[in-house]
Structure formats: C-alpha cells, structure tokens
Structure 1
Amino acid sequence: MRAPQETETVSFGPFFLHDKTRLLERDGQPVKLGSRALDILRLLVSRAGDVVSKNELLAHAWPGLAVEEISLRVHIAELRKALGEGKEGARYITNIPSRGYCFVAPVHRIGHAPPAVSPPEQAPSIPEAPMPVLPPRLERMIGRDDVVREVAERLLTERFVTFRGPGGIGKTTVAIALAHELSAQFDGRVRFLDFSMVKDAALVAGTIAWALGLVVQHSDPTDSIVGYLRNRRLLLVLDSCDHVVEAIAGVAERIHQQAPGVSILVTSRESLLAEGEQIFELGPLEGPPQGAGLNASEMLAYPAARLFTERAAAAGHRAEIADEDAEVLAEICSKLDGIALAIELAAVRVGTHGLRELVTLLDGRLKLEWRGRRTAPPRHQTLGATLDWSYGLISESERIVLRRLAIFAAPFTLQGATMVAGEEGDPAERIVESLEQLVAKSLISVRPDGAVTRYRLLDTTRAYATQKLADSGEATSIARRHARYVQHALETTAADADAGDQALRSRARTVLFSDARAALKWAFANDEGAGLRVPLAGACARLFLELNLLDEGRLWSSRALTMLDSSTRGSAWELELQATLGHAFMFTERNSDQAETALRRGLEIAEALGDGASKFKLLARLNMFYRRTGDYRLLLPLALEAERTAQAIGDPAGIAGGKGLVGVSFHLIGDQRAAQLHLEEGVAGSEALRSMQPGHFAYSRTPQIPLARVLWLRGFPDRAVECARPLTGAAAPRDAVMYCISLCWSASLYGWVGDWSSVEQMSARLSAHAASHALAPYQAVAAGFRAQTMIARGEVKEGIELLRAVLPRLHADRYELYASAFNAELSQGLAELGQPAEGLRVLHEAIARIEPAGEAFDAPELLRLRGELEARGGDAKAAGASFVASIALAEEQGALSWRLRTETSLARLRRKQRRAKPLDGLAETYARFTEGFETADLKAARELLDEATK
C-alpha cells in the first residue's frame, strides 16, 4: 500500500492540496476542512483511481481506535460538500458498494509548491509559545458527533461558545474532541486550560498568560494577554470554569472583543454571562424509550445504551445483551438520565451484579459512591464527588431550595416550588431567584410544557439532594408540605374540570401522578401524615380513574374510607372515595354488593352536597352496574334522572352523554325505536363529547357504541358496521374501560352479521387490553367471544369446553350482560354434538335468568333458539309457538333483524310440515330491508326464498 507522500503538492480541478502544510485551497483561497476529513482526502488522492477499502480509511484517519463506519460516512459527506461534488457535473469521490471509496478525478502532482496563502501575520516582537500537550482524546466518543460538527462550525464563525450542562454530562470530553478536531484549522495553535485546580479567581488571568508563554510583571496580565493575541489565530479552551466564572467572563469577553483571530470554547455548569458568548446546552445522551418493545440490537441505536454496553464490555462483561433484557437496559438508561459519567460508573458493575440487580441498586444512594477510573479528576471519580463539587459552589439559600425540591418525584411547576421550598410568609421572589440560579448552574433542568414551564432534578441530583434533606432534619416537614401541595393542585385542577383548556388541565393532572403516589405512601406510613390521609386520598381518587389505574384507586380508597371521622364523613372527599371504590370494584373484581353500596353511598352524598356533576357520574356508574348484572328494569329510571341532571347543569357534552345513557337503557330493555332516537340525538352532540378530557363528568359516554348494535337490530346492517368500524380504530375511546366496552359490543355486532374473523380479532385485542389494565371480567368475555368463533368454524367440542369454563366465571362475577348470548351459543353447540335435551336445559336457564329483569333486548333471539331446539327434538307444536312468540316480541321491540332470523326458522319448519305458503312471512320481512344483503342472515333468507322459486 502506497502511503500519501508528505512533501508533495497535487492539484485536481480547481483545488490544490499541500501535504506539508495540510492545506486545501480552491482558487487560491483556503477550504475549511476538519483534520480527519483531510486525512481521508490525502489517502484517497494518493491512491487516485484505486478502490480504498473502508477499513483502510478508518485505520488511517483513526489510528489505533475502534470507530463505527458511520463516522467515515459523515466525513466523506463533509468532503463531498467541501469539494462541491455534483455541482456543474463535478465528480471526485465515488462509493464502490461492499468495497470502499475511490477518488475518480484526474490528479496532477506538482512537486513542492508552497501554498498560495501565507499563514496569518505573526507579531514579530514576541516568540511563539510552545504548544501545550492536549489531553488525550477518548478512544471512542459515543453520541456526540453531531455536537462536534455543529459547535466546530459555530466556533469558526461566532468564535465564543460555552458548553453548559450538569456535572458528568460529558462537557470536557466533547471539548477535548473539538480541540483535536479543530487543531488543523488553527495550524496546531490550541491552548487547553483545566481550571478545576485553580481555587483562587485572582489566578485566572495569570494561568492563561502562563499557558500562552507570557512573562508579565504586574498583578493583572489581561492587557498583556489581549495584546499578545490581538493579531494571532488561536483556539483557547477554558475547561471546568464553574467556580471562577466571573474572572473567566472578564478575560474571555476582552479577548473576544479585541482578538478577532481567537476562538474561545468554555465548559461550565453555568454560563459566563459575557458579551458575545453563545450558549450550547449539552444535553443528555439519548436513551431508548421504555415500553417500546425494542429488541437488543434496536436498543443499541441509542447512544446511552451503546455507551453502557461498550463500557460494560470494556470492564470485562462479555455476555451480549439478550432481547429479553432489552427493556431492563432501557430502564437503566432512564434511571441514569443519559449522564455519561453515571452510565460509565454503572456499566462497570454489570459483571458483578448483572443487569436486573443493577436496576434495583440504582434506586438507592449507593450509585453516588461507585468509583470510576483512578486516573479521573477527583471530582469525576464518583457521582457524589461530582455533585459535592457543584453543591459547594452554590449559596446556602440555594442549597436549602435544592434539597427541599428533591421531594418532588416528577417535573414540578413554579407554584409547586414556591409552596414546597418556601417558608410561610416568605416572598415568592426569593424562591424564584434561587430556582433561577439552580437552573443557571445546571442543577435543575427546565423545559416548556405547552404554556407551562416545568422544572426537574435529574435522578442522580435528586438522590444526592434527598440525602442532604434527610441530614438537614426537615424531611418530615417538607414531606408534609409536599403532600398538602399535591392535594391543593389536584383539587384546584378538578375544580377547573369544565373550564378553560381541558387538554392543559388533563396534562397538569397527569404530571402530578408520581407525586400523588409518593405523597400517599408517605402519609399512610407516617403518623405525621395522619390528618392528611382522607383529604389526600380523596383528591387523588379521581386521578386514578382518569389514568385507568383502577387497582390503585381501589387500594387507596379502601384504606382511606376506614379512617373517616366526623370531620370527613359525608364530605366531598368521601364522595370521591366511594365513587372510585365502586367503579374500581365493578371492573377489577366483580359486580359485588360492595361496589353497589359504594356507588349508592356516593350518590347520596352528591345529592346532599348539591353536586350535580358528581351525581351524573354516579347515576351513570350505577346504570352501568345494573347493565352488567342484568337488572335491566333499574336502568331507565337512573338514565332519565341522569339526563335531567345534565340538562340542569346545561353542559352540551353532559346532555349528549345523558341521551346516550337513556338510549342504551332503552336498547337493553328492548325498545329499539326509542333507543335509536335517543342515541342518534346523543351522536348529534358527539362533537362536544369528543372534546372532553378525563375529569369531565360525562367523560367516556359514547352513544355511538350502542348505536351500532341498535342499527343492526333495527334492520340496517351496513350502517351498523360503518358505525362500529371507527370505534376500534382511530376513534376508539381513550378510557380503558370504554375501550373494552367498544370491543365487546363491536364483537357482538360482527358476530350478528357473520363476520367471524373480525370477532376473532376483536376478542384477541380485548383479551390483551383487559390483561394490561387488570380488568379481569373482560378477559372472561374475550374468552367467550373466542369460543363463539371456534364453534362457528366447526371446532364445536373445543368451543363448548371453553364456554363451560367461561360462564361460571361470569355468573360468579354477576356479569350477565353477555352470559345469555354465550349460553345460547352453548345450547346450540350441545345440540350439534347430539345433546339437544342438554342444550334445551341450558337455554331454559338462560331465559329464566332474564325473565325477572323484564323483556331483554335478546329475548326474541332466545325464544327463536328455543324453538330450533324444540323442532330438533321433534316437538313441532312447541317450536311453532316459540317462533310466533319471538316474532311478536321482535316486532314489538322494533328489532327487524331478530324478526328476520325467526321468520327464516319458522319458514323452514313450515316447509318441513308442508304448510301452505310457508315463506310468506319471510318474504314480507325480507322486503322491509334496504341494505345488508351480503350479511349472513339476509343471504340465508334469500337462499331459502330462491329455493322456493326453482
């Protein structure tokens, strides 16, 4: 392999490349190019016409380092841009797939010609100082290539950049990389000064003068520094300036103003606030998202995960990250906040503890004491030392605020900070000022969240400050303040439920969740929190329902209700606790007496307090409770009362939700005409319903869900399917319970139209969703739908076995809403297996269950199926009577589709009996349909009618 010759000059196109001075010119002007890009160009030009492999290029530009191919591609792209590749047909570097790169432009070697541009004029009176040795560059820097490129460009144009960020984030590492990257641009004139060991601000200017090789005879050498640099080109890197920022700011500002050839790079946890300074906030390394289902290789696309695995391997952990450990790795990266130092310190312990144990260790203070490289500066040998360094640089008032704010488990607002960190009677301005300083010094991060600004301590900083809070002796008083703030914030946002920007309100409440959980745990575990338990749990109860955390809502509500006293009994807090308990019991365990009692007690309190919104919610929940238990006669009175309550409140979404409640009640008691009328009125107000956020009293009332079933019953199968389709897609309800209901009712509809593949799909989604939200009763329903699908495709025995397992669970939970349909399916399956008598017994039991509740919506279908089994058993007279009763009830209910099914069954019976005009009733009913002719029932009816004409 021919190495590039160090002394010759070559030309290609309008360019001259001078090896000795490492200078690329175009038309006599220097071309800006990074040192590694220049190394790559020199090798390609020296081998012009040959294919140079990627490995050769990597080895040449990064000798002795392991570098990913993406770095090579980035520098090749930089070269092509600098050379104007593609402009006016110019071609210089081409990629040879799977082989490497080739320099394809003609190259002319012209010996030892000097560069056309002379180096900048030097001040003749002072000799050039020897260049200090730069700190060695890391073998491989991960996740910061874009930063290096961007800041390099800014240093060349804006000349004065400060890297700002928390301790351990990697400021010094990136600064060293930049210094090496830009060394060629400054002809090797780079001065790197580490100020971490300079304790006295008065020594700052003298330290800079010493690095420049100046000998000065007075106490302030700033003038001499500026005079020396005025006509020079140089990169000055001032590292770790946190504790001497004022002195650094004065000197840096003078150099920037009076030495135009000098670029300045500063690293600090706070900005210098100097004129001309450009701040570059060095953020954390991006980590993989939790819960995204990524495999191990996909995790490594994220810099934080890549750094962790590489440092773990370097420390002797040879095992690769398996796919089953990928989520654990994501959690580790999240806990380490993307801080490079924290990642390195944790990674070296994987071999000792393993990934899963490491997750637990990261929750404690131990991580602050883990030691890193012995050669690292003392402040970087442990996370605790890094934070000690920062803590020692802030004022006492800032320390007080920092340790008090460590009580927050999640991002907090300015209001939260002032209520928790401030003393009673203190002006809020004092906390604001301390907070601003902590943000400026990178101890607290800040981010906008819509119209609100939120603040956060990184996990490592929070662990450190939490220990300081414990040492201060005020942990209990601050925890009490925090719990009171959480209660206040939740009650305030709940009171604003029907006003203002509901999306912002919902977001504000969601962000409070982690703090609500922490406050509850403290209050129930400490005697000092006894007086806060009921009010705090009452304030949190609604939040748990809004976030679909029903198990957690049930737990805290149950505990708090045992602690009621005369001051809290009958209060708004008890109302919320009872409402939450009843709702949670209904969906997570069973439709028990305890659930009904809690809902009834909540309704009693709402009426006593004159709380219309809560009354509507409790009426709606009781309506749903009785739907599930099959007590259909109780539905309509509750729904009508809810509708009157919503109208009294005057809220459009509530009125639409009330219409939906009345409509679904009419549907279940078997009045499909009234059901359609009310549900369509509710859907007409659905725009108001769609704009609702969790917390609105009518949230989750979706008339479109029952309307789809009513449309099928009324004889509009196509409209029904169109109505249902969005409910399990883009327009699916956001509430976890309502999404389950949407899947259930859609599955029943698809079964009615004979689309069993959709039923199977719905049941699978229902099962997964119910499992993820611990909604056990819906898992049983999903199994029932799956059993129906099995029977429909001929797996009768297996389907029957599954139904026999499902139905006892539903009956035990008093969940009868779907039990009659599953019993009906079981009865038909038994008949298919030659057990019609057993099937008839099952069906009689199903009919007996609904009779005490009055005429149910599916009573016509159950009567029809009874007739089918009676006909199969040879009792034609009983079968005929059942069919006639079914037809009469279907007509009374306005359920044309039920009537069509029964007319089809009756027509088959009459044909078998050779009765006159056996198909007249079927023909008349079929003629009433205007759509749905490709659905199962209409196709079956048409086939029967067509047979009669043959």
Structure 2
Amino acid sequence: MWDESNPDTGKSLYFGPFQLIASERLLAKNGKQVAIGGRALDILIALTQRPGEILTGDELTKLVWRGLTVEDSNLRVHIASLRKALADGEDDTRYVLNVAGRGYTFAAPIRREPVTPERSPTAETSEPRSQSLPHALPSLFGRTETVNVLSLLVLSRRFVTVVGPGGIGKTTVAVAVAYSLRQEFEERAIYFVDLTLIQDAKQVPNAVASALGCFVQGPEVEPFILAFVSGKKILVVLDNCEHVISAAAALAERLFHAAPSLHLLATSREALRVDGENVHLLLPLDTPRGEVTTASQALGSPAVKLFMEKAASSGHRLSLTDAEAPTVANICRRLDGIALAIELVASRVGTFGIQGTFDLMGNDAELQLQGRRNAVPRHQTLQGMLDWSYNLLSNIEQEVLSRLSIFVGQFTFEAAIEVAGSSEDTIRTTNAIASLVDKSLVWISPADGVITYRLLDTTRVYAAAKLAASGETHAVAMRHAQYFADFLKMRETEDLVSHGHNVEAYAPHIGNIRQALGWCFSSSGNVCIGIELTSHAAPLFLASFPLLAECSNWCSKAMATLLPSDRGQRRELYLQKALALSSMYLWDDSEKVKAALERGLELSEKLGEDRLQHYLLLGLNVFFTRRGEFASALGVAKRAAALSEKFGGVAENAMSEWALAASHHVAGNQSAAVMHGERGFRLAVNTAPSEFVYFGYDYHVRALGTYARSLWISGAQTKGIAKAREAISRVIDSSHPVLFCAVLLDSIPVMHWGGQSEEAFLFCEQVIAHAVRYSLHAQKAVGLALRGELMIARGEVEPGVNMLRDALKTMGDNQYHVQTLATRRALAEGLRRLGDYDEALFMINDALNQADQASTTLWLPSLLHAKGEVLMAISTPSAEAEACLTRSIEIARRQNALSWELGAATSLARIWAQKGKSAEAKSLILAVHSRFNGDIEAWEVSSARQLLDELR
C-alpha cells in the first residue's frame, strides 16, 4: 500500500490527537499506538495522501486491494472500522466524510513533520493474528534468510510446501514465516492447523475447519471451508502433513484453486505433489567448515549455537572452551545439522558432559540420519537418532515413553501418571516422567499458570511403534479413554461449562478426548467407555461452535450403540439433549432436531429433570418459531412458563417470560409481547448475567431484540430504537454466531423502520459476513433479504428484487420460515415499484394464503397494507384497495400494532382525499396519529404528518 516515492516518505502526519507514520504503518493517539486493522490503515494512508480530495469507492478499492476484485461492502466495513479507530464523530470531530454518490474524503487539517526518534511513538509488539499460531521461538538459529525467502515466496506464489526430514525445524520456520507476514494480512487472518492432533485422514477437513473457526453444518465439511475462505486474503499454515499426506494434498489443491486470495504454507516430510505447489527444501543448519580451533570459530555456526543453548538447558552451565570446540563441531557435523537431533544429543550434556556425550555416540551404532529422505520410508529419517536416544533410557523410562505416545497434543501430569504409570509404583513413574522432561523427550508447555506436557511428533510416532511392538496398545488406549471419562465425570462438566464457566480450562483436553472417542467407536474399541465419555464430553463440544458438528456426530454414534440398560435413563437423556441442541444450532435436518427435542422432553419429564425439561422446551419454542409454526411455539412457551412457575428460580421464570414475549410477538399480540418482555427484564434486574447464558447463548440479550420489535410495532418507536441499539451493543462482541445473527436480524428492521437506514445497512453487512464465516445459510438468507429490502428503499429496486428472490429460495431450502412472509411483502413492494403489478399481486396473495393456512397474524396488517398499495397502483381509487386497508387497520388495532395501523390509515386517507372525503381522511389520521409520542420521524409518522399538512 505504501509508495516509497510519495512525498510523505519519512514524515509524520498529525491530525487532532493522532500521529500517522505511513512508512512504518504506525498510527498513534497521544503517543500511544492505536489498534487498527491492516485494510483500515491502508484506507487511512490513501485518504491522507490526498486530503480534501474525494476518492471514489473504485479508487480506494484499487489502492487498497490491488489486483483483487472485492465487493463494495468490504470497503464500507473497513471504513466503519477506520472511523471506530479514530473515534470519528465523537465530540463533533470528523475525519472521514462520505460524500453521497461520489466517495470519501479526509476532512481534518493535517500537519506534516519529519520523523525524529524523540517524536516517534513506540510501537508495541503486535500479538499474533491468530490465536492458533504457536509462540515464535526467541532464538532462530541460522534461519533468518530462509524465513525472508519463504515469506516472499508465500506472497508471490501463494502455495508453498516446506519439505525436509523430521526434526529439521520445518514447524519452527513455518511459524516464523507466519509471524513475519502479519502486516500483510487482515486482523486475525493467519490460521495454524496442527495436523499432528488427528489420526484419521478423513478428519483433515474437520481440523482445518476447527482452526479457521468455520461453522460446519452437516457431514460434508469441505464446502463450508471453501465458502469461509472465498474472497478473503488469509494465510493457512498446514503443519505436519506427512501422516495424512493424501487428504491434506487433495484439500490444499482444491483450496488453492477455489480461493484466489488464499495463501497456503505447508510443512511435510515429502512434497504434496499437487498442482500449484512450490516446494522449498529446508536445508540442515550450517555446521562448522574445515578445521575448528577456537570456540569463537565454532560459535559462528548456527548448529553449534543451538547445541550449546540446549546443553545449558540440560544443566551444563559452562561456556564452550577452545579445547571443546572441535568436539562440539564434530558432534554437529555427525548429526548433519538436523535441529531435533542436535537438541536430543545436547540434552545429555548435563549428565555426561561434552566429551562423554561424544563418546556415547562413538560407542553406539552410527545414527542413520539424512539431510534428504527422498528414498527412505516414512518415519525412517530420524530412526537411528531416536533408537539411540531410546536405548539410553532405563526400562521404566522406555515403558512410560511408549505409553505416553497414546496422547495427542497436550496432557497433564495427572493424566500421564494414570495412563502411562503403574498404580503400584507412582513414585517410579513420576521420576521417569521427570527424567524424560530433562532429556527433552517430553516437552513442558506452561500456559496460563497450568503446566502441560507434550511429545514432539517424531518422538510420539517412534514411541507409538514401540508401544505396538510391546502388545500394549489396546490396553493403554483403554486406560486413556477411561481416564478422560472419569476425569470429566468427576468435574461434572455440564454444570461447569453450561453457563460459560471454565470452558477455556478444558481446551487442552479436546484433542485427547477426540482421540479417545475415535478409539472407543472403532472396531477394536470399547463402546461402553465411548458412551460414558460422550455423555460427559458433550457439554465441552456444545460450548465451542466449531465443534458442534462433532458433538452431533459423537452423540449419534453413542445413541446408535446405547446399551439396553441405558435406554430411558439419564444417560440417554443427556445424549438426547446434546444431540438436540447441537443439531438445532447446526440446523442440518429439522426433523432430526424435532425428534431429538421431543425424545429429550419425554425422558426429562419421566425422570423428573425439571431444569433440563425447561431448557428443552425453550429449544423447542425456538425450533417452532424458525419453522414458522407460531401457534405451536406459543403453546410450548406456555408449557415452559407453567413448568418454571412450579420449580424454577428467577432465571428460569425470566427466560419463560421472554419465550412468551417472543411467541406473542410472532403470533401478533404486541401488548402481550411487551408485557411479558418487561416482566422478564424486571425479574432479571438482580440476577447474575451468566444465569441467562446456556452454552454461550444469552437469552437476556436475545430477548432485547424481540422486545425492540414489539415496542416499535406497538408505537413506542423511540424506546424501540433505543432497545435495538442496546441489543446490538450487547451482542456485537459475542462469540456465539447464532446469537449474534439472531439479535442483529431482529434489530435491523427496527433501525430501518425508524429511518436509520445507513446504520441498518452497515449492520446488515456485518450479519451477512458473520453468517458466511460460520456457514449459517438460513441466517445469511435473512440478512440478504433485509439488504434487498434496504436496497429497494434507497432506490436500487431491481437488484434488491433479485436479492429477495434468492433469499426466499434459500429460506425454503433450509425450512427457515420465520421471515418468509416479511420477505414476500418486501418483494411485492419491489415488484410494485418496478411496475410489475401482476406478479406483485400474485406474491402478496400467496403470502396472505400462507398466513391464513399457518394461522399467522403478525404480518397480516403489513401484508394487507402492501396489497392495498399494489391495488392503488393498478387503479386509483379502488374499492378493493379500501377494503384491504380497512382490514389492515382493524387487525393492526387488535394486535396493538399502532405503527402499522398508522401506515395503513395514511394510505386509506389518501384514497379518501382523492374521492373528496378530506374531512373523513383528516379525522382518520388524527385518531391514530394522536396516540404517538411524536418524537420519531419514522416513515409512517412523517408520511401521516405530510398528508395532514396537505389536508389542512
């Protein structure tokens, strides 16, 4: 983005409290660095280079997204992000102005001064752009030039595989490359996929989706990954592909071709050998050349530097002497500069000294290490080194190391003792693990004050082969699975994580739980342990949205193998509950969702699980609402209210009130909706917010969106818009994608109805982007429908109509009918504006028929009003139009839908005025208009006032 030839090179730009150094990509406020996304910063640089000039959207797009084709919505989103970073608009200070129909301009005065050290703010070190990216090593011996070359190659060629033998440092280099490229990608746009955590090649797409945070619906994962990465400039690091090479290669090739903005960096012991791949052979670390006579000469080699650092970690505190330098140089040459081999050998120096370690190497068989491994089988590259290291261990150390290979990723000391040790002699096991840590065969991973352990991948694979040779694999796998079943059972994960408590504490265990479940339900596994483990692990999967598909999968497997003794018991109930909730959020099969919910309700009632029955009723209420079965939703809400009144506390009764409010709202009774909503909010005043959160879904925040709609429709327009804003502000940082979309989709129409169309459009873009990211097809369709309606309102009628048509089809395909009638009404309005009166009339009549069949009354006043407008366009005045508008007014009055009543009354009054009945028209409008507060200039209110002025 930054042009070195620009006259601002080497200068600081000052405006307001801000300082911008474009050449350093640094924005500061009052001397402190401002957090700002890369694209937003590019836009700021472009605008400040030409202050006062109007840059069109196309000009900005070409400057910021060079060579890429992006949607206008991307520019609007990043302009909004820039304004937020600048606090644009606060205290009446404006920086970036939107000139309607022309583009954007930077409006603030700018002062330019040379950059001097004393005037240059200190840039804080940025955090990695993805939480999944491992921490970079503080020392990167001999790899700086390699990292620079790879960084340029990844940017220019997009698909690079780092190839080399095990232990050579491929992961370390890949992580360093990712860190070096942070400024080239958008905020949080670098994703690290550790494939060592999976065993089954079929799970590669799941691992990628989980790392991306991609929301998956249904068994086919890849289409959702493709949808997630499409159009985004992101970097995906696929680490350790060799054990799932075919699956990783095939997925990488398809991603590369399907997503032109995607960049891939893979590490593997062999090339992926697919189209588009650029192979970079990672060479060993440089070792000392020629005769070494001094320590200074030896330490000029990266391999020797690494050796001495790891020797110090093993307890060797002495500096390298000139006398020892030739010996260390010989060791590093003997190990061919393989980083992991050097680390493992150096870890013995604390015990045997430098010469003693060299003698051990001489006494043992020659290490079979190669700089390249083109012709050697898998796992052979480090075989000799690992054999040698393994043979140095005592019998108990060898036994424990081989058993530890059953773990994937991190594991705790307690888990290691239970799975790899002996109940008869825990002291010996403890000492063995400590020794393995000292010898760098087991690595310590401190995180958030908790110490966990892990085996390097090559070590784990080697040790697993030893475990298989011992004939203990089955027994150790069973102990591993039983340990995690007992571990979760003792901690009662349902209560710990259901309200959002301690979820992060279980994150390190997910890989091992997944591994244990995979073994349990395999042909050689133990389904009894699998069923038990699934029932206790399900809350953890429910608490993480990228894992919902897995939750549904494991619960289905457990249900299919459930023991007769567990049928109709609590275990089945908990599995049904998890299956129902995960399936409902995924919305992959509505009949499956319904069956799971109803079976769970049957069991919870039978077993007297009132609290669980209440949550399942709330879920069934949401299910019926999504399907457009509003009468059924209201019936279920009443059941939930009756149950919570019998057993529940404040939280349960408040959630029941909100369910009743939502159900009355969609059923067309706004007075009842407002009443029940307010009852719920009064109950919630003195209750902890977490009490209303269930597996990340905040019922309190969700209720605000529905309440805002009911308020606005009932005529409390000012309060309705205020509550819509509150709901949006409360959910904007939510990690629950369904909640985020639901609240915004409820609130956006209120903003639109209240004349806040620009804000509504911006929020609409956010919800669409969120739905795309998490593959929420139904929510995306509703977002597109609202966008289409907004486009029609702003005069972009034809593209708006096309968008509404597509959205309607997607809603139908997903059996998501809560918004279909509103979408048909908006489509009819668009068709009317296009002059296609026949299709508009057909569309609105079809919607009215559907409303009658489904006993749906919420949208009847609006639908009848829309039909009246179409009929007026066909023939003015029209008796049939009068009849429709009269009926709209009557139904709106019964619903206490004052805003809709005023809209229909205004249209009817216009007909009467044209027929010479001005007095009656004026009286009709005044009768409705007088019931408003008069402090909102919504369309209905302003239109009524305009007509009153005309009649006067």
Q: CA deviation at 1:577?
A: 3.7
Aligned to 2:321: none
What letter is aligned with 1:311?
Answer: T
Aligned to 2:834: 833
Distance, in Å, in 2 between the alignment partners of 1:526 and 1:627 is: 41
Distance, in Å, in 2 between the alignment partners of 1:503 and 1:429 is: 37
1:497 and 1:696 in contact (8 A); partners too: no
Distance, in Å, in 2 between the alignment partners of 1:867 and 1:335 is: 75
1:555-611 deviation line (CA, Å, top 9, x unaligned): 333343333341343343433443344444444455632321222112112222222
Aligned to 1:890: 892
What percent identity do the matched residue pairs reach?
29
Q: CA deviation at 1:713?
A: 1.6
Q: CA deviation at 1:320?
A: 2.9
> More displaced, 574-583 or 734-743?
574-583
Distance, in Å, in 1 between the alignment partners of 2:924 and 2:168 is: 71
Distance, in Å, in 2 between the alignment partners of 1:327 and 1:945 is: 70
1:756-804 deviation line (CA, Å, top 9, x unaligned): 3233323322222222222222222222122212212222222222222
Query: Measured at CA, do residues 762 and 342 of structure 1 come closer, stay the same or move farther in structure 2, by a change above 3 Å?
Result: closer
What letter is aligned with 2:340?
Answer: L
Distance, in Å, in 1 between the alignment partners of 2:488 and 2:838 is: 59
Aligned to 1:154: none
Distance, in Å, in 2 between the alignment partners of 1:576 and 1:300 is: 38
2:731 and 2:740 in contact (8 A); partners too: no
2:167 and 2:340 in contact (8 A); partners too: no
Q: CA deviation at 1:322?
A: 0.7
Residue 675 in 1 paired to residue 673 in 2? Answer: yes
Distance, in Å, in 2 between the alignment partners of 1:533 and 1:882 is: 61
1:708-737 deviation line (CA, Å, top 9, x unaligned): 112212222232222222433454443221
Aligned to 2:718: 718
Residue 925 in 1 paired to residue 928 in 2? Answer: yes
Higher normalized contact order (CA 8 Å, seq sep 6+, divided by chain length): 2
Distance, in Å, in 2 between the alignment partners of 1:417 and 1:752 is: 60
Distance, in Å, in 1 between the alignment partners of 2:704 and 2:558 is: 37
What letter is aligned with 1:408?
Answer: F
What letter is aligned with 2:538?
Answer: A
Query: Measured at CA, do residues 318 and 557 of structure 1 come closer, stay the same or move farther in structure 2, by a change above 3 Å?
Result: closer
Query: Measured at CA, do residues 464 and 627 of structure 1 come closer, stay the same or move farther in structure 2, by a change above 3 Å?
Result: same
Q: SS of 1:802's equivalent?
A: helix
Distance, in Å, in 2 between the alignment partners of 1:591 and 1:530 is: 26
Distance, in Å, in 1 between the alignment partners of 2:922 and 2:523 is: 77
- What TM-score results when the alignment is normalised by the length of structure 2? 0.61
1:328 and 1:359 in contact (8 A); partners too: no
Q: CA deviation at 1:671?
A: 1.8
Q: SS of 2:521's equivalent?
A: helix
Distance, in Å, in 2 between the alignment partners of 1:910 and 1:304 is: 83
What letter is aligned with 2:708?
Answer: A
Q: SS of 2:410's equivalent?
A: coil
Distance, in Å, in 1 between the alignment partners of 2:570 and 2:562 is: 12
Q: SS of 1:320's equivalent?
A: helix
Correspondence 1:421-570 to 2 at 5 A:
421-423=420-422, 425-426=423-424, 431-439=429-437, 442-446=440-444, 452-459=450-457, 461-495=459-493, 497=495, 504-548=501-545, 549-570=547-568
Q: Structure 1: which 5+ runs fail to align?
A: 1-69, 71-285, 348-353
Q: Structure 2: which 5+ runs fail to align?
A: 1-23, 25-124, 181-234, 246-266, 271-280, 288-331, 345-385
- What TM-score results when the alignment is normalised by the length of structure 1? 0.61
Distance, in Å, in 1 between the alignment partners of 2:157 and 2:654 is: 47
1:587 and 1:776 in contact (8 A); partners too: no
What letter is aligned with 2:594?
Answer: E
Aligned to 1:596: 594
Q: SS of 2:495's equivalent?
A: coil
- For these two proteins, the number of residue pairs brought into alignment is 648
Residue 381 in 1 paired to residue 338 in 2? Answer: yes
Correspondence 1:393-404 to 2 at 5 A:
395-404=394-403
What letter is aligned with 1:321?
Answer: V
Correspondence 1:858-869 to 2 at 5 A:
858-869=859-870
Q: SS of 1:919's equivalent?
A: helix
What letter is aligned with 2:654?
Answer: A
1:231-262 deviation line (CA, Å, top 9, x unaligned): xxxxxxxxxxxxxxxxxxxxxxxxxxxxxxxx
Aligned to 1:262: none
Aligned to 1:791: 792
Alignment partner for residue 242 of structure 2, among 354, 358, 361? 361
Distance, in Å, in 2 between the alignment partners of 1:377 and 1:342 is: 26
1:176-221 deviation line (CA, Å, top 9, x unaligned): xxxxxxxxxxxxxxxxxxxxxxxxxxxxxxxxxxxxxxxxxxxxxx
Distance, in Å, in 1 between the alignment partners of 2:644 and 2:835 is: 53
Query: Measured at CA, do residues 414 and 713 of structure 1 come closer, stay the same or move farther in structure 2, by a change above 3 Å?
Result: farther
Distance, in Å, in 2 between the alignment partners of 1:378 and 1:601 is: 66
Distance, in Å, in 2 between the alignment partners of 1:788 and 1:547 is: 33
What letter is aligned with 1:805?
Answer: D
Q: CA deviation at 1:401?
A: 3.2
Query: Measured at CA, do residues 867 and 417 of structure 1 come closer, stay the same or move farther in structure 2, by a change above 3 Å?
Result: same
Aligned to 2:153: 320
Q: CA deviation at 1:622?
A: 0.9
> More displaced, 843-852 or 637-646?
637-646
1:670 and 1:857 in contact (8 A); partners too: yes
Correspondence 1:404-419 to 2 at 5 A:
404-419=403-418
Aligned to 1:93: none
Query: Measured at CA, do residues 461 and 827 of structure 1 come closer, stay the same or move farther in structure 2, by a change above 3 Å?
Result: same
Residue 742 in 1 paired to residue 743 in 2? Answer: yes
Aligned to 1:901: 903
Distance, in Å, in 2 between the alignment partners of 1:313 and 1:634 is: 62
Distance, in Å, in 2 between the alignment partners of 1:304 and 1:333 is: 20
Aligned to 1:690: 689
Distance, in Å, in 2 between the alignment partners of 1:864 and 1:883 is: 5
1:716 and 1:932 in contact (8 A); partners too: no
Correspondence 1:134-283 to 2 at 5 A:
none
Q: CA deviation at 1:494?
A: 4.2
1:588 and 1:774 in contact (8 A); partners too: no
Q: CA deviation at 1:678?
A: 1.9
What letter is aligned with 1:552?
Answer: E
Query: Measured at CA, do residues 334 and 831 of structure 1 come closer, stay the same or move farther in structure 2, by a change above 3 Å?
Result: farther
Q: CA deviation at 1:504?
A: 5.0
Aligned to 1:218: none
Aligned to 1:182: none
Distance, in Å, in 1 between the alignment partners of 2:922 and 2:654 is: 43
Aligned to 1:936: 939
2:154 and 2:160 in contact (8 A); partners too: no
What letter is aligned with 2:154?
Answer: I
What letter is aligned with 2:891?
Answer: L
Query: Measured at CA, do residues 431 and 539 of structure 1 come closer, stay the same or move farther in structure 2, by a change above 3 Å?
Result: same
What letter is aligned with 1:383?
Answer: L
Alignment partner for residue 627 of structure 1, among 625, 628, 639? 625
2:496 and 2:502 in contact (8 A); partners too: no
Q: CA deviation at 1:664?
A: 0.9
Distance, in Å, in 2 between the alignment partners of 1:692 and 1:798 is: 44
Aligned to 2:30: none
> More displaced, 628-637 or 571-580?
571-580
Aligned to 2:146: 311
Correspondence 1:118-129 to 2 at 5 A:
none
1:714 and 1:897 in contact (8 A); partners too: yes
Greater radius of gyration (CA): 1
1:642-693 deviation line (CA, Å, top 9, x unaligned): 2344455544433332222121112111222222222223234167463259
1:446-492 deviation line (CA, Å, top 9, x unaligned): 46656754444455554454444444432222222222233333444
Aligned to 2:653: 655
Query: Measured at CA, do residues 341 and 815 of structure 1 come closer, stay the same or move farther in structure 2, by a change above 3 Å?
Result: closer
Residue 664 in 1 paired to residue 576 in 2? Answer: no
What letter is aligned with 1:764?
Answer: E
Q: CA deviation at 1:535?
A: 3.2
Q: CA deviation at 1:392?
A: 5.5
What letter is aligned with 2:539?
Answer: R
Distance, in Å, in 2 between the alignment partners of 1:698 and 1:321 is: 39
Q: CA deviation at 1:421?
A: 2.3
